[in-house]
Amino acid sequence: MSNPLWVGTVISTTHLEDKIVKGLSLVEYLPERKKECLNTYMEKRVKKNLWEEQIFLADFLQKNTLPEYPGVYFFLSEKNEILYIGKATSLRDRVKSYFVQDMLETRGPKIELMMKSIFAIGYRKSDSVLEALLLESELIKKVQPVYNTSSKDDKSYNQVVITKETYPRVLVVRSRDIAQGKFTEAIKYSFGPFPDGGGLREAMKIVRKLFPYRDKCIPYEELSDKAKLKARPCFSAQIGLCPGVCVGRISVKEYQAILRHIRLMFQGKKSMVLADLEKAMTKAAQEQRYEDAQEIKKVLFGLKHIEDIALVKNDLAEEERHRIEAFDVAHLQGESAVGVMTVVQNSHPQVSEYRQFKLRAKHNGNDLTALEEILRRRFAHPEWPYPEVIVVDGSDIHIRVAEKVLAEMEITIPVLSVVKDERHRPREVKGVAALAERFKKEAFLVNSEAHRFAITFHRKRSRKNFLLK
């Protein structure tokens, strides 16, 4: 294991915000403070770190020496506790993004608290973004860092499961369905949860091309004698994504070897897969099974040269994306009350993700209690992606109502409000000043969309109610 990078002046990040705000030098700390921090840090080091290299935050802020490689990064506290684990297409750029001025001004309360606790950064390089994604999930599951996801978030994420069968299936299943007993198949292995749904889809495509597996077809051995006579390869087998379980092309032992490689990949142990394959290729050549040796050689090449361009694009898009949700209420003197949710992502309306709510309680024209009902019902759907910012229509009191609901549901998302003038035109954005300034344009847009959508929905419902009278 490489030695840590102990070079430079060490600082405690409890004063980091003051330093940034005041524009002071990050090296103006007493030598004895450095010694005290270093002694504390070394005493608390674990016997075997999960990272390959590490650097003090103070050193990183002076010079970014992280490699331009895919990998996994660790934010570490002064006591060497892992605060957060993340994946990166480029370790250098991803970690740097946390400390640029835009991020410092717009981070949410949870990230802000984490930033104050960061003392050092660990990292572990990988050969591809695919490996970084799989390793990140495995490490989060193992370590459960406090600033990663909450248990509420986890339920909306996907897991990859290998079923407990003679010819097991490899499936993507929602964590919520497993927890609620909706997924009833026996599970032998599970991996995840994976917060990045798009990344997981791309990862599964790559893994399946390297290691074809069964997901839907019925194994040949389980067919009746009559059905065996008519057995045909499933569609996946025809395009090389299933090893032919449905037509008896592969034995149980051979199929288990494929599943072992998939399991090791999801556990971040690619080196073991490579060793297995090289050994199998050598054995096949010695036994003069040259076609088998050639096929294994192709898999080895694919594994060493993983093409994950789609994953790189997805990872970059995730870093740039800002999801903002707005909520609004519409009624006529308390009648036909409705609520709506609109979404703006990357400064563009996401119309397919708009939602309508027929209010169940009698609010008698009270917009505050109506807003409370809408928010509770919206966040009763953890399968909907959570926003970075919430926008409500109103003033400080509307912000307080929204924050109260979120606190009771143990959800940490900053809230902004759009204040209108006497002609009902947007005048200002209230809330955390830096967030209000950063997302002013998006807040006006998503609020305008919410108002339009609410009025349209209310008119439709009022018309329907009128015709039914």
Q: Is residue 151 part of a domain?
A: no
Residue 331: predicted pLDDT: 72
- Domain end: 96, 120, 143, which one? 143
CA nearest 167: which of 295, 277, 257? 257
Statement to judge: residues 305 and 378 lie in one domain: no
- CATH of residue 439: 3.30.420.340
- Domain end: 143, 176, 208, which one? 143
Contacts of 105 (CB under 8 A, 6+ apart): 434, 435, 437, 438
Quick count: other Cβ atoms within 10 Å of Cβ 463? 11
Cβ proximity of 129 and 87 under 8 Å: yes
CA nearest 269: which of 77, 66, 127, 411? 127
Contacts of 446 (CB under 8 A, 6+ apart): 324, 325, 326, 342, 343, 344, 349, 391
Alpha-carbon distance of 385 to 391, in angstroms, equals: 16
Q: What is the CA radius of gyration of the chain?
A: 27
Q: Is residue 8 part of a domain?
A: no
> Residue 460: which domain range?
321-468
Strand order in the sheet with 158-163: 170-174, 158-163, 187-194
∠ CA 427-433-438 to the nearest 5 degrees?
80
Statement to judge: residues 208 and 295 lie in one domain: yes
Q: Is residue 5 part of a domain?
A: no
Q: What is the pTM of this model?
A: 0.67
Q: Is residue 149 part of a domain?
A: no
HSE (side-chain half, CA atoms, 13 Å) at 402: 26
Statement to judge: residues 358 and 449 lie in one domain: yes
CA nearest 85: which of 171, 147, 170, 150? 147
Q: Is residue 413 part of a domain?
A: yes
Q: Is residue 219 part of a domain?
A: yes
Residue 457: predicted pLDDT: 84
Statement to judge: residues 188 and 276 lie in one domain: yes
Q: Is residue 148 part of a domain?
A: no
∠ CA 44-48-54 to the nearest 5 degrees?
70
**What is the number of structural domains in the chain?**
3
Q: Of how many residues is the chain composed?
A: 469
Q: Is residue 204 part of a domain?
A: yes
Per residue of the chain (469 residues), give pLDDT as tens: 333 333 333 333 333 434 333 333 333 433 444 445 554 544 444 435 789 999 999 999 999 999 999 999 999 999 989 999 999 999 999 999 888 776 655 566 677 778 889 999 999 999 999 999 999 999 998 888 988 865 455 556 889 999 999 999 999 998 888 888 889 999 999 998 887 778 888 899 999 999 999 999 999 999 999 999 999 999 999 999 999 999 999 999 999 999 999 999 999 889 999 999 999 999 999 999 989 899 999 999 988 888 777 787 777 666 666 789 999 988 766 566 889 999 998 788 999 999 999 888 888 878 899 999 999 999 988 778 888 899 999 889 999 999 999 989 888 788 999 998 888 888 999 998 878 888 899 999 999 999 999 888 878 876 665 455 5
Residue 383: predicted pLDDT: 76
Statement to judge: residues 29 and 121 lie in one domain: yes
Cβ proximity of 295 and 412 under 8 Å: no
Statement to judge: residues 444 and 335 lie in one domain: yes
- Domain end: 143, 178, 194, which one? 143
Statement to judge: residues 368 and 243 lie in one domain: no
Statement to judge: residues 302 and 251 lie in one domain: yes
Statement to judge: residues 245 and 393 lie in one domain: no
- CATH of residue 117: 3.40.1440.10
Statement to judge: residues 344 and 453 lie in one domain: yes
Quick count: other Cβ atoms within 10 Å of Cβ 218? 14
Statement to judge: residues 309 and 173 lie in one domain: yes
Statement to judge: residues 331 and 448 lie in one domain: yes
Residue 32: predicted pLDDT: 47
